[in-house]
């Protein structure tokens, strides 16, 4: 099957070595095992990898469940799949097929050679579009419903996921025709929307907002310097009549607060309840709230 030809046959030993290497390097998500690796495309001459996590006892031939694909942050120039391994493993345990995908990132030297008016963010968005399309294209093999795909990400990854689904341009000509990047919901962890993006219309979220947004939940620390860019976009969404965005604020927290406990657990529980409200998973969160009592505050 095409499913197995796309699987990277690392073997049990190599798989364990990858996990051990990540643990030795530390970093976000280092204590969560990698998902099954797949190459979803090649860009700039390199394979682009996605890790997929499946629900327990998932049988793709018998079950088609919603899918979730998350994109890591790192200022459009760094970061790794480790950031969302814990989230993917958790939401797979709750019944979703989950993926976290890497993407092309330009070096500082490559970015400096771009034409005037273009930013390094473009290639990230193009690959994110390809990843979403690959996920949908292989829905049968993965056991997902291509009409119920959720996306999102953290910081730069939040920006990338938004533009990959809302902006009409920056498509890879090699992507399969007839497969769109529309999704039914978003999980955004302090998405990085920058005022500087107005210099490049293709990556400027403000140019691509629309009133009929799918449901979204967004998490921000109230001390996050990136929140200013979010606030501008959020105000414009509300002016358009959008009422589908659930904004949750972490008091006293700055950027990337969601990467570590207790806030990692707090935001995952809130995201879980959001997905339940919108019929994408069922039941109660299986994570317990932190004993230290941290809570998110609902924004108006």
What pLDDT does residue 300 have? 86
For the stretch 268-278, pLDDT in tens is 999 999 999 99
Average pLDDT over residues 96-109: 96
Q: What is the mean pLDDT of the chain?
A: 90
What confidence tier does 138 reach under pLDDT thresholds 50, 70, 90?
A: very high
Check whether 67 has a pLDDT greater than 90: yes
For the stretch 161-198, pLDDT in tens is 999 999 999 999 999 999 999 999 999 999 999 998 99
3-class SS string, the chain:
CHHHHHECCCHHHHHHHHHHHHHHHCCCCCCCCCCEEEEEEEECCEEEEEEEECCCCCCCCCCCEEEEEEECCCCCCCCCHHHHHHHHHHHHHCCCEEEEECCCCCCHHHHHCCCCCCCCHHHHHHHHHHHHHHHHHCHHHHCEEEEEEEEEEECHHHHHHHHHHHCCCCCCCCCCCCCCCCCCEEEEECCCCCHHHHHCHHHCHHHCCCCCCCCEEEEEECCCCCHHHHHHHHHHHHHCCCCCEEEEEECCCCCCHHHCCCHHHHHHHHHHHHHHHCCCCCCCCCCCCCCCCCCCEECC
Check whether 114 has a pLDDT greater than 70: yes
For the stretch 29-45, pLDDT in tens is 447 899 999 999 999 99
Check whether 225 has a pLDDT greater than 80: yes
User: To the nearest whole percent, how much of the chain has pLDDT over 90?
Assistant: 85
What domains can you pick out in the chain, each with its CATH number?
A: 2-298 (3.40.50.1820)
């Amino acid at each position: 099957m095409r499913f197995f030809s796309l699987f990277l046959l690392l073997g049990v030993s190599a798989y364990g070595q990858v996990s051990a290497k990540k643990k030795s390097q530390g970093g976000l998500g280092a204590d969560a095992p990698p998902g099954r690796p797949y190459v979803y495309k090649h860009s700039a001459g390199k394979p682009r990898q996605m890790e997929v996590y499946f629900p327990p006892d998932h049988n793709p031939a018998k079950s088609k469940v919603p899918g979730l694909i998350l994109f890591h942050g790192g200022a459009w120039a760094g970061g790794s799949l480790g950031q969302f391994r814990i989230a993917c493993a958790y939401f797979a345990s709750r019944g979703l097929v989950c993926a976290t995908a890497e993407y092309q990132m330009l070096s500082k030297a490559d970015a400096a050679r771009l034409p005037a008016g273009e930013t390094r963010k473009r290639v990230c968005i193009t690959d994110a579009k390809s990843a979403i399309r690959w996920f949908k294209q292989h829905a049968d093999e993965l056991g997902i419903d291509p009409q119920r795909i959720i996306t999102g990400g953290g910081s730069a990854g939040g920006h990338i996921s938004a533009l990959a689904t809302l902006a009409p341009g920056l498509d890879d000509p090699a992507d399969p025709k007839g497969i769109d990047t529309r999704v039914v919901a978003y999980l955004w962890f302090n998405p990085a929307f920058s005022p500087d993006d107005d210099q490049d219309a293709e990556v400027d979220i403000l140019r691509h907002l629309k009133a009929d947004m799918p449901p979204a939940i967004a998490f921000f620390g109230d001390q996050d310097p990136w929140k200013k860019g979010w606030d501008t976009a959020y105000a414009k969404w509300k002016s358009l009549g959008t009422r589908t965005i659930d904004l949750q604020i972490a008091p006293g927290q700055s950027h990337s607060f969601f990467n570590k406990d207790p806030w990692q657990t707090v935001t995952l529980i809130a995201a879980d309840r959001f997905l339940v409200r919108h019929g994408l998973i069922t039941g109660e969160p299986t994570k317990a709230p932190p004993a230290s009592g941290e809570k998110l505050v609902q924004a108006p």
